[in-house]
C-alpha cells in the first residue's frame, strides 16, 4: 500500500521544498504503514483511508518541517548536541514522528496521557530505528525537563496549551502550535506573559484547508 502512495508523497515533499533522502522517504512510508496497522487495534486516528492519511497527516505535518528547521538552525547549540523538542498530545505521532524522521538534529519526545499512544511512539522508535524519538506516558503538566521547542498539533486552545506545558519550556524556549485558521480569539485570550511573535501561514500540498503555525514565547 505504501508503495502506491510514494509518488504523491515525493511530489508533496518537492512542493514543500524539503530535501529528504530516499531513506527518509522510506521511513515516512514505513511510519504510515505502522500507523495503519496499529490504528486497527488502538484507534490512534479517526482518519482511516491511506490517501487521506497521506494528505491530512503526513503532508500536513511535513508542511511544518521547514519552519522548524529554520528556527533550530538559528539556535546556539553545543557541537553535536541535539535540540530537545517536546510534542504535546502527540497521539499517533503527528507531527512528532515526522519531525524525528526529517530532523535528525532534533531529539523528539512525544507525550500523551493515553498509555497506548505513548506505547505506539515507543514501537515506532524501535521499528524505524529512530534513536532521536521516544514516547512518554504522562500529563504534560508533570514534566519539568526543559525543552527548547514545545510543539502541538490540534491539541488544545493556545491558552490551555501554554498553561499546561509551561513547566516543560526552557527559559529561552518557544511554543510551536500548529493550527487551522488564524486563531485570533485564542491569541486574544492568552495571558500577558505569553507573547505571540509570529503567525506563519502554511500551504499543505493536496489539502484545500487553511493552516498556520503560532510561534510564542514566555515573557
Output the tens digit of pLDDT for each of the chain's 219 residues.
Answer: 578 899 999 999 999 999 999 999 999 999 999 988 888 777 777 667 778 889 888 999 999 999 999 999 999 777 789 999 999 998 889 999 999 999 999 999 999 999 999 999 999 999 999 999 999 999 999 999 999 999 999 899 999 999 999 999 999 999 999 999 999 999 999 999 999 999 999 999 989 999 999 999 999
Going along the chain from its start, the domains and CATH numbers come out as 63-218 (3.40.50.150)
Q: How far apart are CA 131 and CA 155, in angstroms?
A: 25
pTM of the full structure: 0.96
Classify residue 203 as left (phi > 0), alpha (psi -120 to 50) or beta: beta
Q: How far apart are CA 71 and CA 81, in angstroms?
A: 16
Kindly list the distances between the CA atom of residue 86 and the CA atoms of 11, 90, 94, 184, in Å, as whole numbers in the listed order: 29, 9, 12, 24
Q: How many CA atoms lie within 13 A of 214 on its CB side?
A: 27
SS3 10: helix
Amino acid at each position: 500500500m505504501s508503495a502506491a502512495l510514494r509518488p504523491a508523497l515525493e511530489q508533496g515533499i518537492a512542493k514543500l521544498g524539503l530535501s529528504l533522502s530516499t531513506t527518509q522517504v522510506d521511513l515516512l512510508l514505513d511510519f504510515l504503514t505502522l500507523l495503519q496497522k496499529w490504528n486497527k487495534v488502538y484507534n490512534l486516528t479517526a482518519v482511516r483511508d491511506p490517501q487521506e492519511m497521506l494528505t491530512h497527516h503526513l503532508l500536513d505535518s511535513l508542511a511544518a518541517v521547514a519552519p522548524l528547521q529554520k528556527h533550530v538552525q538559528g539556535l546556539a547549540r553545543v557541537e553535536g548536541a541535539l535540540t530537545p523538542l517536546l510534542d504535546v498530545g502527540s497521539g499517533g505521532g503527528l507531527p512528532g514522528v515526522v519531525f524525528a524522521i526529517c530532523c535528525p538534529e532534533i531529539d523528539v519526545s512525544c507525550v500523551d496521557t493515553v498509555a497506548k499512544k505513548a506505547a505506539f511512539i515507543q514501537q515506532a522508535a524501535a521499528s524505524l530505528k529512530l534513536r532521536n524519538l521516544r514516547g512518554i506516558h504522562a500529563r504534560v503538566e508533570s514534566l519539568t525537563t526543559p525543552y527548547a521547542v514545545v510543539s502541538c498539533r490540534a491539541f488544545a486552545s493556545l491558552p490551555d496549551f501554554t498553561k499546561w506545558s509551561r513547566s516543560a519550556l526552557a527559559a529561552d524556549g518557544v511554543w510551536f502550535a500548529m493550527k487551522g485558521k488564524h486563531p485570533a480569539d485564542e491569541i486574544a485570550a492568552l495571558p500577558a506573559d505569553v507573547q505571540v511573535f509570529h503567525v506563519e501561514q502554511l500551504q499543505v500540498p493536496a489539502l484545500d484547508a487553511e493552516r498556520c503555525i503560532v510561534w510564542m514565547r514566555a515573557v
